[in-house]
Amino acid sequence: MVVPSGPAFQYLKVKTHLREGIASGRWRPGERLPSEAELTEAFGVSRMTVNRALRELHQEGMVERVQGVGSFVAQLHRIASTLTVRDVHDEIAARGHQHEAQVHLLEEVAATEAQAAEFQLQPGARLFHSIIVHRDNGVAVQCEDRLVNPACAPDYQAQDFTQVTPTHYLLEVAPLSEARYTIEAQRPSPLEAKLLGMPRGEPCLVVRRCTLSLGQVVTVVRLVHPGGRWMLQGSFQA
């Protein structure tokens, strides 16, 4: 990651150093990070600058701070518990229905410029690509078009996705720390319409989701649902 230069961005050098150290496993969940005094000396910056970097990492859920003791790498289960990324198998099973998955494509591709930018990789970098159709009691309800970062899930292509969903597998090998998504009404592509067995003009509910683990993009997925066969549900409490 390129860090902007200048006095106003000194804290980003500290933050990036800690973030990348956590992502690479240099500091594991529960381990103590270098103290503010140690970071101040190592980077030649003020204590206020170091404090800002640690404060922002704490706000992002990557660091836990204990007053008078120090800063620690957050436990992943605590980060993941604040987010909800549901497995389509679990949603279907919760209705008492039978889930079935059909793998239509599983390949390795070279990242385009747009894909590389989204994954924070170089153009041409390796990505895994899969297209899977999920069925509810034999009816196609979701077309899953997914890209995966091999650095986060090197054994992705070796999985049997008729037995375990990509969502379930990825949450196991790269615990979720952040998710970004959009939900739109769109028409399916010709391939999506064919795989879902629906007219091209029929509206679809399209969820596009990017998930990260410890600051690293793990996967970007396009989930296409026929409008008449799927409904998003959720709840919240004030």
Q: Please give the helix or strand (H or E) that residue 94 lies within, else none.
A: helix 88-94
pTM confidence score = 0.64
On whether both 96 and 205 belong to a single domain, the answer is yes
Identify the helix (H) or strand (E) that includes residue 102. Answer: strand 99-110
- Whether the pLDDT of residue 1 is over 70: the answer is no
Task: Using CB atoms within 10 Å of the CB of residue 13, give its burial: 0 to 12 exposed, 13 to 18 middle, 19+ buried.
Answer: middle
CA distance 77 to 131: 29
pLDDT confidence of residue 198: 85
Q: Which of 59-73, 112-126, 177-191: highest mean pLDDT?
A: 112-126
Average pLDDT over residues 9-38: 86
User: Quick check: 98 and 92 in contact, CB under 8 A?
Assistant: yes
Q: Are residues 112 and 200 in the same domain?
A: yes
**Span between the terminal Cα atoms of the chain, in Å:** 38
Q: Do 56 and 151 sit in the same domain of this protein?
A: no
62 plus 155 within the same structural domain: no
Residue 77 has pLDDT above 90, yes or no: no
Query: Of the residues 30, 51, 74, which one is the last residue of a structural domain?
Result: 74
Cα–Cα distance for residue pair 9/18, rounded to 1 Å:
15
CATH classification of the domain holding 57: 1.10.10.10
In this predicted structure, what is the pLDDT of residue 233?
Answer: 56
Model pLDDT for residues 172-221, shown as the tens digit of each residue: 999 888 888 888 888 899 999 999 998 878 888 899 999 999 889 999 99
| 129, 22: one domain | no
State the residue range of the domain holding 30.
Answer: 7-74
Regarding whether 105 and 68 lie in a shared domain, the answer is no
Q: Which residues pair with 144 in a beta bridge?
A: 132, 223
Q: If you average pLDDT over residues 76-94, what whole number do you get? A: 62
Question: What confidence score (pLDDT) does residue 145 get?
Answer: 98
Would you say 65 and 71 are in contact if contact means Cβ atoms under 8 Å apart? yes
Cα 92 to chain centroid distance, Å, stands at: 22
The pLDDT of 21-29, averaged and rounded, is 81
3-state secondary structure 158-194: HCCCCCCCHHHHHHHHCCCCEEEEEEEEECCCHHHHH
Give pLDDT, residue 230: 61
Residue pair 198/219 in contact by the 8 Å Cβ criterion: no
Domain count, the chain: 2
